Chains A and B, each alone.
Chain A
Amino acid sequence: AQSVTQLGSHVSVSEGALVLLRCNYSSSVPPYLFWYVQYPNQGLQLLLKYTSAATLVKGINGFEAEFKKSETSFHLTKPSAHMSDAAEYFCAVSEGGFGNEKLTFGTGTRLTIIP
């Protein structure tokens, strides 16, 4: 089974600083990887996904992630943090066939922005 590991359950950055949230995957086949964001008391929203096209994936709200096979990583970055970025971020890997896809999530990283 495929899995993802998120390093750091809590990350704090100053407003305007670089955001880096780490995700490493474990998979015996080329993985399909996702980053989702969860704002307080809300459902999850897709930030971006890697589906074996370009290794640098751009998402919403200025986030991007780079798929690095040699490092089995898919870290999420944003050049300049905004207060509105404070949320829980989940990395996930997708597996399965037609009609039976399932997402396996990491344990999440809570991002706090310091004014």
Chain B
Amino acid sequence: DTAVSQTPKYLVTQMGNDKSIKCEQNLGHDTMYWYKQDSKKFLKIMFSYNNKELIINETVPNRFSPKSPDKAHLNLHINSLELGDSAVYFCASSQDGVVTDTQYFGPGTRLTVL
């Protein structure tokens, strides 16, 4: 049983389109995250949610809108896709969102914008 799952695994789309990535965790965790990994493998946090409430928004363009319908789900919607949005997007979760928590990562969604 996958702990943190993401769909789709691959996403290829044209510039200007709108797309969504879904994330689900079955660990019973309270906190979920979105990270972006660029072509040089650099990982940067985008958002975090704790109990469906937005906690961290790391100066991400407002074309990116996370939504958490419940504690187990955190989706990422991206409007007006740009070439620079091409990356691998990882969802993660942790128990309480405290500094000593382990974060559990999903398998990633590779987004390619043409």
- Asked if A17 lies at the interface with its beta carbon under 8 angstroms from chain B, I say no
The answer to whether B90 and A32 have CB atoms under 8 Å apart is no
Near A by CB (< 8 A), chain B positions 79-96 give: 90, 92, 94, 96
Contact with A along B35-70 (1 / 0, CB 8 A): 000001111110010110001101000000000000
User: What residues of A have a CB within 8 angstroms of the CB of B43 in the complex?
Assistant: 44, 90, 105, 108
How many residues on the A side are at the interface (Cβ–Cβ under 8 A)?
Answer: 29
- Asked if A3 lies at the interface with its beta carbon under 8 angstroms from chain B, I say no
12 A-B pairs (CB sep. < 8 Å): A43-B90, A43-B105, A44-B43, A44-B90, A46-B103, A49-B102, A88-B41, A94-B99, A99-B50, A99-B55, A100-B97, A102-B56
User: What residues of B have a CB within 8 angstroms of the CB of A71 in the complex?
Assistant: none
Instruction: Show the binding face of B for A, using Cβ within 8 Å.
Output: 4, 30-31, 33, 40-45, 48, 50-51, 55-56, 58, 90, 92, 94, 96-108
Instruction: Show the binding face of A for B, using Cβ within 8 Å.
Output: 32, 34, 36, 38, 41-46, 49, 51, 88, 90, 94-105, 107-108, 110
Q: Which one of B41, B45, B50 lies within 8 Å of A103 (CB-CB)?
A: B45
The answer to whether B42 and A108 have CB atoms under 8 Å apart is yes
Q: Within the assembled complex, what's the spacing in Å between the Cα atoms of A90 and B40?
A: 13
Known: A99-B31, A103-B45, A107-B42. A32 touches B99 (CB 8 A): yes
Beta-carbon nearest neighbor of A53 in chain B? B100
Known: A43-B90, A102-B56. A95 touches B41 (CB 8 A): no
